[in-house]
Amino acid sequence: MLRKLHACLVALLLAAALPALAQDNYPHQPIRLMVPWPPGGGVDTTARLLTEPLSRRLGQPFVIDNRGGAGGNIGTELAAHMKPDGYGLLMASISPNAINVHLYSRLGFDPIKDFAPIIYVSSVPNILVVPASSPFKTVADLVEFARANPSKLNYASGGVGSSQHLAAVQFMQVAKVELTHVPYKGTSPAEADLASGHVSLMLDTTTCLPFIASGKMRALAVASKARNPALPNVPTFDEVGLPGIYASSWYGLMAPAGTPRPIIDKLNADANAVLKTPEFQKRMADFGAEIGGGTPEDFGNFIVSETKRYDGIVKASGAKLE
């Protein structure tokens, strides 16, 4: 009887110790990173720039799992149901993790409750761009014409409810202008038509930088509080007299809710270390990104504030998706 009792106690102690041992040895196998967007976009690019040096620090590779669709909702819902053991993570972004809760009638996940924030990685500001052939050399030129000719100018976006669409809504509210929305099925075709002069303007992300560098587009303003290092000669909206237009596509690392705190803390510490390296900072600067960092709580508070902020912006846009 005593022998059986002893064996039971040993088994219970081992069972209790196993989670702690697993956390102490973390990671001991490859880590799956869900990227809820197709390859080549801003979220995917940031994920790959981050995980390359992060995998060296952790001693394990990252497996990028691209699951695009429904504005990032499909892959994000899959991530919400991954096992909370640190071997399934999410590359979070502004649409599925702050905007879509106001845009879609059903998500299939709670962007706040279903995830544990790890770290705010970076953001890329929206940039007001026009074709190189445009007569508008400044924001003032554009606004003056738009006020005198309501709805005559049209603007491109990557789709209804996209970051470009909602950035343009902010611009119209502050500038007191009316523009006509031309939504495309993705950023690339929108940029192609803008560069060709088929649309008047766009509040694009930094994927437009090659078009600006090649002279196919002209940047008039950036929607951030400070000038972007990739465009040091382009003013902010604050500087041109249209204050408060802040629109950025941001990216961060998250885990399913319930992931042990020691694993969250380890990933946060190693990711913070990567963000501070000159190599990473140089690569992100070339991408036009502003680097984040900080604690999991910092990122969590930021997501809550962004979710609240976009409630009014989405309502003003009139956009609604199923």
Tens place of pLDDT per residue across the chain (322 aa): 555 555 555 455 444 444 554 567 999 999 999 999 888 878 999 999 999 999 999 999 999 999 988 889 999 999 999 999 999 999 999 999 999 999 998 889 999 999 999 999 999 999 999 999 999 999 999 999 999 999 999 999 988 888 899 999 999 999 999 999 999 888 889 999 999 999 999 999 888 999 999 999 999 999 999 999 899 999 999 999 999 999 999 999 999 999 999 999 999 999 999 999 999 999 998 888 999 999 999 999 999 999 999 999 999 898 888 7
Beta bridge partners of 33: 64, 89
d(CA 231, CA 212): 9
User: What value, to the nearest 5°, has the Cα angle with vertex 36 and ends 54 and 317?
Assistant: 125
**Is the whole model's pTM more than 0.75, yes or no?**
yes
Concatenating the DSSP letter of every residue in 6-29 gives HHHHHHHHHHHHHHHHHHHT--SS
Strand order across the 180-183 sheet: 180-183, 154-157, 201-204, 127-131, 217-222
Q: Say what the pLDDT of residue 280 is.
A: 96
Please, what are the domains in the chain? Answer: 30-123+248-317 (3.40.190.150), 127-222 (3.40.190.10)
Closest residue by Cα to residue 267 from 118, 88, 61: 118
Q: Say what the pLDDT of residue 3 is.
A: 59
Q: Say what the pLDDT of residue 22 is.
A: 52
Q: How many CB atoms lie within 10 A of CB 253?
A: 26
Beta bridge partners of 251: 93, 122
DSSP-derived letter for residue 95 is I
Q: Say what the pLDDT of residue 41 is.
A: 79
Closest residue by Cα to residue 194 from 237, 185, 203: 203
d(CA 246, CA 252): 18
